[in-house]
Amino acid sequence: MRVTPLARRLGTAALVLAFGAGVSSCSDDSASSDSASSASSASDEGADSTSDAGTDEPAEDESGATAEASLAELSVDDFYPSVMAAMREAGTFNFETVSDSAGQSQTTSGQARFSDAGMEMKASSSGAQAMELILLGQAMYMKSPDLGTADKWVKIDLSDPNSLFGMIGKATDPEAMFKAMESPKKLELIGTEDVDGVSTHHYRITMDPAQYLDAMQFPAAMADMLPEELVTEMWVDEDNLPRKFAQTIEVPAMGGGAATSSTTEGTYSDFGTDVEIEAPPADEVTENFPGA
């Protein structure tokens, strides 16, 4: 197995795990920000402004309240604790992401579940780097025609930080992920939008790449592969559950040349529904990874 394809496949796996971990947390905080100041549709363009609930629409009864009035604007301090607490309370969710980079597109869909051992996940992707992936605790299973293991699942131990796959293990750590995200450089409320029929607040989060790399314990040299700021768009509903995210990154070319644009968009749905995430049968698993 050539190094470049291997690295590319590992990057794909890390991306899948990172987005799953990006909506999970080991925090026990409750989603208490529902009592925060309410953002009306007239003030949705203000990143830090708030307004008194009910001033724009009469609140004759709960059934007559508008979706906009029920949305509470989250501040920079309570954004991630509130979203994390809501996700943990839901317990499970489905997700789908679509990534485009260098003219190649990849769609990934799956299910995720919180457990005492951490986040558990089952995902499959189609496109340029088709792959199936299962995450249970510190064990990750991958299966792909390109891995050189025929129909076998490759089992990878993520607990060894010195292994080739240690970085993927760090990407699955929700605490590390949110350590990078809990203090963004900027949090902006863009407006109120519907996502698959659900009313949401659309936020723009700007992060410092150096802070992100430090929190994730990634090599500082990776900063050369990232833009000066990491910007993520996120849509959050009235229960503080994320419904959609989008991110575009301009990756500087190695040795000069034009930068490469990488775009990823994803949706989350079916919160709190039953999911089925299990390890593959033992006779379908190998720990021999060609090229690793």
Domain architecture of the chain: domains with CATH:
3-34+72-279 (2.50.20.20)
Tokens of 130: 């088709």
For residue 256, the Cα-to-chain-centroid distance in whole angstroms is 30
In this prediction, residue 90 carries a pLDDT of 95
pTM of the model as a whole:
0.73
In this prediction, residue 279 carries a pLDDT of 96
In this prediction, residue 1 carries a pLDDT of 37
User: Could you say which residues of the chain have pLDDT below 50?
Assistant: 1-9, 11-65
CB atoms within 10 A of CB 7: 11
In this prediction, residue 141 carries a pLDDT of 93
For the stretch 54-87, what's the b/e string if a residue is b when 16 or more beta carbons lie within 10 angstroms of its beta carbon?
eeeeeeeeeeeebebbebbbbbbebbbbbbbbbb
